[in-house]
């Protein structure tokens, strides 16, 4: 069992607030796949617009959602109530208030606590509420009903004020889901901590625009959608940024972190935990590859723990943080790329990097001059048969 904000989870896997968590049938499927918890679909008192799911999906990088249907409060409360009766999942109630008054936040939190939510997840991340408007037209264009999501998550003072209201309103833990669209997420996370937040969640949601059709007047790559807005990015492109965000929060606060963004394999999830996450959260991988992806990740994480001799997940959380230091304190170790000529197939890919003078092909085998090798490691990454390894002098 894992303790997160005083709530027990059977494993680290939480399904992120998304179309995956919008109906009771999907929550039941999430539990069957092995998830320990879910964050229910984003709820407003009354959603500002009624969208339909439209995504730009680019399998090499990720997906962008700029238009989707959320939940009005009453349907969200019904979902929480049903999930409490029909599953053993730990339930995060993902809520946001799009007005400037704090009373809306308080109402949403109290009602969801009464319905049976285990934790409140204050959504200060969604870029589709007001951030998309501001990114196009400027701050003055944001209406009085577009102040939830990422617009709130960019303002430390407003974060603190809302967290205090939430903490005064409910007894269950308050987790703040923060936008990555800031200069330093450590600052906004610290504001939440100082105001009394119990935990932080960060997972993708970088404000993004899609590929366009260069042969059709630059039309954006969304199907069945007229127009385009800045949307929420998820999938592989967000993974490395997610590591950085989680590590930043873990170093600058004492709050437990839920980390996500592009986690497609159990190895990805273990790495996220090593960068400081107590729990992990997944969305895009299940939307692309099905619930079996969740099952594989949960099984893989459990087997990894046993294989490596760890007693619990707490022993791996934050393991990689010990290596973090400022750029000026890094030390470049002398070394070079080395080729296993028996494995080398002579494809020449390692000879391509334009900045490299160390690699040449001799009799259809790669040969590397150690004196010219700068140690970048690109050739190792490019080699399709793993014939190249970096060796320290």
Active site residues: 126
Which residues lie below 8 Å from residue 124, measured CB to CB, with a gap of 6+?
96, 148, 149, 150, 152, 153, 159, 162, 176, 177, 178, 179, 188
Residue 184 tokens read as 């330093």
Secondary-structure breakdown of the chain: helix, strand, coil percentages, each rounded to the nearest 5: 35, 20, 40
The CA–CA distances, whole Å, from 60 to 63, 96, 236 equal: 10, 31, 7
For helices 73-86 and 103-115, what crossing angle results, to 10°?
Answer: 30
3-state secondary structure of 160: helix
* The residue to which tokens 């366009």 are assigned: 212
Cα separation, 261 vs 268, in Å, equals 10
Q: What CA–CA distances, in Å, run from 298 to 39, 89, 280, 294, 352? A: 17, 15, 11, 6, 39
* 305-327: b (≥16 Cβ within 10 Å) or e: beeeeeeebeebbbebeeeeeee
């Amino acid at each position: 069992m894992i303790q997160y904000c005083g709530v027990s989870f059977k494993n680290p896997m939480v399904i992120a607030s998304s179309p995956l968590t919008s109906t009771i049938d999907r929550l039941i499927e999430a539990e069957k796949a092995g998830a320990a918890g879910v964050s229910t679909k984003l709820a407003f008192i009354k959603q500002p617009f009624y969208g339909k799911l439209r995504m730009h999906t680019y399998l090499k990088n990720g997906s962008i959602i700029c238009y989707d249907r959320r939940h009005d409060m009453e349907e969200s409360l019904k979902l929480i109530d049903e999930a409490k009766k029909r599953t053993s999942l730990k339930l995060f109630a993902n809520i946001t208030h799009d007005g400037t008054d704090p009373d809306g936040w308080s109402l949403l939190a109290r009602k969801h606590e009464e319905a049976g939510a285990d934790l409140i997840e204050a959504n200060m991340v969604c870029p589709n509420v007001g951030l998309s408007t501001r990114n196009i037209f400027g701050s003055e264009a944001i209406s009085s009903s577009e102040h939830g999501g990422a617009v709130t998550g960019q303002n430390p003072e407003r974060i603190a004020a809302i967290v205090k209201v939430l903490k005064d309103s409910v007894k269950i833990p308050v987790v703040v889901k923060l936008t990555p669209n800031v200069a330093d997420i450590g600052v906004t996370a610290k504001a939440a901590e100082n105001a009394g937040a119990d935990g932080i969640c960060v997972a993708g949601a970088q404000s993004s625009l899609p590929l366009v059709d260069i042969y059709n007047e630059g039309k954006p790559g969304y199907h069945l959608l007229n127009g385009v807005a800045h949307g929420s990015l998820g999938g592989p492109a967000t993974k490395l940024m997610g590591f950085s965000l989680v590590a930043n929060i873990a170093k600058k606060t004492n709050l437990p972190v839920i980390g996500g963004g592009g986690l497609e394999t159990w190895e990805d999830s273990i790495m996220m935990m090593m960068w400081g996450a107590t729990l992990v959260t997944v969305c895009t991988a299940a939307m692309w590859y099905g619930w079996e992806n969740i099952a594989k990740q949960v099984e893989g994480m459990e087997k990894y723990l046993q294989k490596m001799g760890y007693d619990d997940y707490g022993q791996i959380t934050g393991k990689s943080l010990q290596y973090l230091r400022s750029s000026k304190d890094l030390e470049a170790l002398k070394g070079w790329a080395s080729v296993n000529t028996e494995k080398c197939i002579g494809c020449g890919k390692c000879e391509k990097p334009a900045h490299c003078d160390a690699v040449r092909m001799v009799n259809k085998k790669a040969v590397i001059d150690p004196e010219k090798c700068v140690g970048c490691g690109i050739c190792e990454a490019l080699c399709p048969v793993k014939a190249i390894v970096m060796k320290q002098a």
